[in-house]
A and B are shown apart, each in its own frame.
Chain A
Amino acid sequence: MLIIPCPWCGDRDESEFKYGGEAHIERPLDPDALTDEAWADFLFMRRNTKGPFLERWMHAAGCRRWFNLARDTATNQVFGAYRIGERAPAAYWDAVGQPAEKNGKTPPGWRVVTGGAAEATPAAEVALAARKVSA
Chain B
Amino acid sequence: MKKYSFLSLVSGAATGHKDWPRAWRKPEPKKAYDVIIVGGGGHGLATAYYLAKEHGITRVAVLEKGPIGLGNTGRNTTIIRSNYLWDESAHLYEKSLKLFEGLSRNVNFNTMVSQRGVLNLAHTLHDLRELQRRVNAIRFNGIDSEVLDAQQTKAFCPILNISPSCRYPVLGASLQRRGGVARHDAVAWGFARAADDLGVDIIENCEVTGIRRDGDQVTGVETTRGLIQAPKVGIVVAGHTSVLAGMAGLRLPITSHPLQALVSEPIKPVIDCVVMSNQVHVYVSQSDKGELVIGAGIDAYNGYGQRGSLPTIEHQLSALMELFPIFSRLRMLRQWAGTVDTCPDASPIISRTPVRGFYINGGWGTGGFKATPGSGWVFAHTIAQDRPHPLNAAFSLDRFATGALVDEHGAAAVAH
Q: Are B309 and A127 in contact (CB under 8 A)?
A: no
Task: Pick from B254, B344, B354, B403: contact of A130, CB below 8 A.
Answer: B354
| Number of residues of chain B lying within 8 A (CB) of chain A | 34
A48 touches B403 (CB 8 A): no
Q: Are A48 and B396 in contact (CB-based, < 8 A)? A: no
- Check if B252 sits within 8 Å of A46, measured CB to CB: yes
Cβ of A40 under 8 Å from chain B:
yes
Whether the Cβ atoms of A21 and B255 lie closer than 8 Å is: yes
In the bound complex, residues from chain B placing their C-beta under 8 Å from that of A123 are: 251
Q: Is the CB of B310 within 8 A of A1?
A: yes
Interface residue? B250 (CB, 8 A): yes
B213-251 contacts to A, CB under 8 A, are 240, 242-243, 249-251
Q: Does B91 contact A (CB under 8 A)?
A: no
Q: How many A-B Cβ pairs are below 8 Å? A: 103
- A133 and B352 alpha carbons, distance in the complex (Å): 8
A31 in contact (CB, < 8 A): no
Distance between Cα atoms of A87 and B343 in the complex (Å): 29
Number of interface residues of A (CB under 8 A): 37
Residues of B within 8 A of A55 (CB): 301-302
- Residues in B whose Cβ lies below 8 Å from that of A39: 401
Q: Which residues in B have some Cβ–Cβ distance to A below 8 Å?
A: 240, 242-243, 249-256, 300-305, 307, 309-311, 341, 344, 351-354, 396-398, 400-403
A-B contact pairs, 20 of them (CB 8 A): A1-B311, A21-B255, A45-B253, A46-B242, A48-B243, A48-B252, A48-B255, A48-B256, A50-B242, A73-B304, A74-B303, A74-B304, A76-B303, A122-B251, A126-B250, A126-B251, A127-B401, A130-B351, A132-B354, A134-B352
Nearest first, the 7 closest Cβ-Cβ pairs linking A and B are A129-B354, A44-B253, A48-B242, A40-B401, A130-B398, A19-B300, A123-B251
Query: A residues bordering B, Cβ < 8 Å?
Result: 1-2, 14-15, 18-19, 21-22, 36-37, 39-40, 43-50, 53, 55, 73-76, 122-123, 126-134
